[in-house]
A and B are shown apart, each in its own frame.
Chain A
Amino acid sequence: MTTDRPVGERLWAIGIWALVVFFVLNFTAMVAAVVINSFGTRWFNAWLPAGFTTRWYESAWNEFQLYDVLIVTFEVVGAVILLSGLLGVPAAYALARRNFPGKQLVILLFLLPMLIPPITFGIPLATVLYQAHFGGNVSGVILANLVPSVPFVVLVMMPFIEQIDPRIEAAARVFGAGTGRLFVHVLLPLLTPGILAALLLVLVRTIAMFELTFFTAGPESQTLVVALYYAVYAAGVRAGQSIDAMAVIYMFTTLVWLLIALRFVDPTQIVTRAKNETAA
């Protein structure tokens, strides 16, 4: 603000910026180390690898059957996006437009799966899914991933729908639009940006969702993040560069969608939109 700030305050500010820079620097260096290692030939006792190659990507692609893993990942993600949109958006609309008794309880019902960490409810959920013969296959993985995704869509869409003026809908009714036409011609165009943002975030979250997929996936239904976990877990069996090549593929898959998502949403929303409901 002013130039004549006390020394202590200025030191404090410098200290905080140093902290932020240190954090970002280390994180960037960590990502860079993974990327460089995945392209390196032999990296031992030096700042950089001895040479560069792309063969680790080929070997990772073959060793980890990444083609199949990616197909499963996109199947799961696609199904989760579609189903969480179909279930979540109408529910969000109902909660945004109506004040029925017990509404707070319903909101709590949707908050719980987002507040309770997946590890805690994942094991009982996996037990139930295995008993219903959904465990160990793609449908089980999809169902498990929907558990946090449906409430997420509801809680992200609710404030979005609330800010749309209900008089627009009323006007459409006055001009004789039925519920179907109201939905297609009025609501859908207005809601598209919100739905797009919510579903993109679901996409990013589902690609990175480890625990629930890990608990429910069989050998044929692993997603990329679970395959990466197994690869790191069994490190030593494969070359480290090969694992890092897979990690780069995973980062690429996730970050592309994140970048697209960030064009539509404020980054703070990724953690806070739903959480803010608790404060309200």
Chain B
Amino acid sequence: MSESATDTAANSTPLRGRLALSDLDGVTLLALPAMLFVVTLFIYPFAYGFVLSFQPKTGNWLANYTKFFSDPFLYDTIEATFRLAIPATLINVLLSVPVALRVRRMRRRRLLTAILVIPITLGTVLIAEGLLTYLGPQGWFNRVLLMFGVGPVRLVHNYTGVMLSLILSGFPFTFLLTLSYLTGIDPSLEQAASTLGAKARARFVHILLPLLAQGLAINLCLSFVQTFSVFPSAVLLGAPSGDTRVISIAAYQAAYEQYDSSMASAIAMIMGFCQLVVVVLILSGRSLVYRGATGGGKG
């Protein structure tokens, strides 16, 4: 930027000048308080929890982990969580693509996106309470089904209820993310293909999809990580001691019902590890379909 200024600074005070040349000056220090804050209240607790998980109340250093993986009441929660998270993620992300493809040409896009932001904003607790009223045996949804001669369907306090809440709160998120990646793709690419006679399907498969792969992979990761940590709706809308006993419930019970923060940290670490594994799998899978630079993102 101001090279002459930094040059003179380099001559008079060598260290400060050299630092300024690599853009380390007073302005850079402005980032320090926020960095310190995140290190103290995010990095440190994570590291602390990691160490704490190897200091169990009783037994050797691995006792928490051996306990987790030997007790079906605990290790089954991993399967229960995956059984919710994987279908919910796939449904949300796969549905978001065709919908976003349509919506991006819409004139009143902003209105629809504004409507879809509402479920995200209200959050899972409110959606759980709303669905309990709406999907319950006396709710409107079942009344409509009855009108069509379909008997009352049990939709709450089971797997279905949690799944529906994950879609209701998750779909707007994946949709808005896909939409922003899609609108970031240069429309002239598609027009060129169209001029050369490519049909809609061919344009999608050969042009949009490769450009979108990067964004979809990130979308899958974020959406999976969100659904894998489902908590309030699994308790309120699901069967928290049955088939929606997800891993976050186990972590919560260890921390706030058994007051075993070491065990709770261990479960939190296992949860984080599961999320990490899936994210790495998705991102490495992406490199199989991803060819060349895309610049799929808007930002």
Determine whether A67 belongs to the interface, using a CB cutoff of 8 Å to chain B: no
Determine whether B123 belongs to the interface, using a CB cutoff of 8 Å to chain A: yes
With A109-B35, A210-B125, A255-B118 as contacts: A232 and B42 at CB distance below 8 Å: no
The 7 closest A-B pairs by CB, nearest first: A124-B49, A279-B297, A276-B299, A91-B34, A90-B30, A208-B123, A117-B229
CA A233 to CA B125, docked complex, whole Å: 10
- Within 8 Å by CB of A150, from B38, B49, B143, lies B38
* Residue picked from A123, A268, A275, A276, most chain B C-beta under 10 Å: A123
Determine whether A188 belongs to the interface, using a CB cutoff of 8 Å to chain B: no
CA A204 to CA B5, docked complex, whole Å: 43
Name the A residues within 8 Å of B235 (CB-CB).
233
Contact code string A143-172 (vs B, CB < 8 Å = 1, else 0): 110110011001000010000001000100
Q: Which residue of A lies closest to B215 (CB)?
A: A279
Asked whether, in the complex, the Cβ of A208 is within 8 Å of the Cβ of B129, the reply is: no
CB-CB contacts below 8 Å: B18-42 with A: 22-35, 37-39, 41-42
Name the B residues within 8 Å of A210 (CB-CB).
123-125, 231-232
Chain B contact residues, CB within 8 Å of chain A: 1-2, 22-35, 37-39, 41-46, 48-50, 52, 95, 98-99, 102-103, 110, 112-134, 138-141, 143, 168, 171, 173, 176-177, 179-181, 200, 214-215, 218, 222, 225-226, 228-229, 231-232, 235-236, 248, 251-252, 255, 261, 264-265, 267-268, 271-272, 275, 296-299
Contact code string A34-63 (vs B, CB < 8 Å = 1, else 0): 100100000111010000000000000000
* Residue picked from B25, B118, B139, B252, most chain A C-beta under 10 Å: B118
Chain A contact residues, CB within 8 Å of chain B: 9, 12-13, 16-17, 19-20, 23-24, 26-27, 29-31, 33-34, 37, 43-45, 47, 87-88, 90-91, 93-95, 97-101, 106, 109-110, 112-113, 115-128, 143-144, 146-147, 150-151, 154, 159, 166, 170, 179, 204, 208-211, 215, 225, 228-229, 232-233, 235, 240, 243-244, 247, 250-251, 254-255, 258, 262, 266-268, 270-273, 275-280
Name the A residues within 8 Å of B35 (CB-CB).
91, 106, 109
Name the A residues within 8 Å of B296 (CB-CB).
279
Q: Which residue of B lies closest to A27 (CB)?
A: B119
Q: Which residue of B lies closest to A209 (CB)?
A: B123
CB pairs A–B below 8 angstroms (20 shown): A12-B98, A26-B168, A27-B119, A34-B126, A87-B33, A90-B31, A90-B33, A90-B34, A109-B39, A118-B229, A123-B49, A123-B268, A128-B44, A150-B38, A254-B122, A267-B113, A270-B117, A276-B299, A279-B214, A279-B215
Name the B residues within 8 Å of A215 (CB-CB).
255
Asked whether, in the complex, the Cβ of B2 is within 8 Å of the Cβ of A170, the reply is: yes
Asked whether, in the complex, the Cβ of B272 is within 8 Å of the Cβ of A116, the reply is: yes
With A127-B48, A147-B38, A247-B129 as contacts: A117 and B264 at CB distance below 8 Å: no
Asked whether, in the complex, the Cβ of A33 is within 8 Å of the Cβ of B113, the reply is: no
17 extra interface residue pairs, beta carbon distance < 8 Å, beyond A150-B34, A208-B123? A23-B171, A29-B140, A30-B133, A30-B168, A33-B130, A34-B134, A90-B30, A90-B31, A113-B42, A120-B268, A123-B264, A170-B1, A208-B121, A211-B231, A276-B180, A276-B299, A279-B215
- Kindly provide the distance from the CB of B205 to the nearest chain A CB, expressed in whole angstroms: 15
Asked whether, in the complex, the Cβ of B117 is within 8 Å of the Cβ of A262, the reply is: yes
Asked whether, in the complex, the Cβ of A9 is within 8 Å of the Cβ of B275, the reply is: no
Decide if the interface of chain A is mainly helix, strand, loop or mixed: helix
Tally A-B pairs: CB < 8 A: 274
Q: Which residue of A lies closest to B24 (CB)?
A: A100
Decide if the interface of chain B is mainly helix, strand, loop or mixed: helix
- Within 8 Å by CB of B226, from A20, A27, A117, A125, lies A117
CA A154 to CA B42, docked complex, whole Å: 15
- Kindly provide the distance from the CB of A28 to the nearest chain B CB, expressed in whole angstroms: 9
With A26-B141, A94-B28, A208-B121 as contacts: A115 and B38 at CB distance below 8 Å: no
* Residue picked from A27, A235, A273, most chain B C-beta under 10 Å: A27
Name the B residues within 8 Å of A278 (CB-CB).
218
Asked whether, in the complex, the Cβ of B133 is within 8 Å of the Cβ of A33, the reply is: yes
* Residue picked from B29, B41, B125, B265, most chain A C-beta under 10 Å: B125
- Kindly provide the distance from the CB of A80 to the nearest chain B CB, expressed in whole angstroms: 12
CA A14 to CA B32, docked complex, whole Å: 53
CA A19 to CA B176, docked complex, whole Å: 16
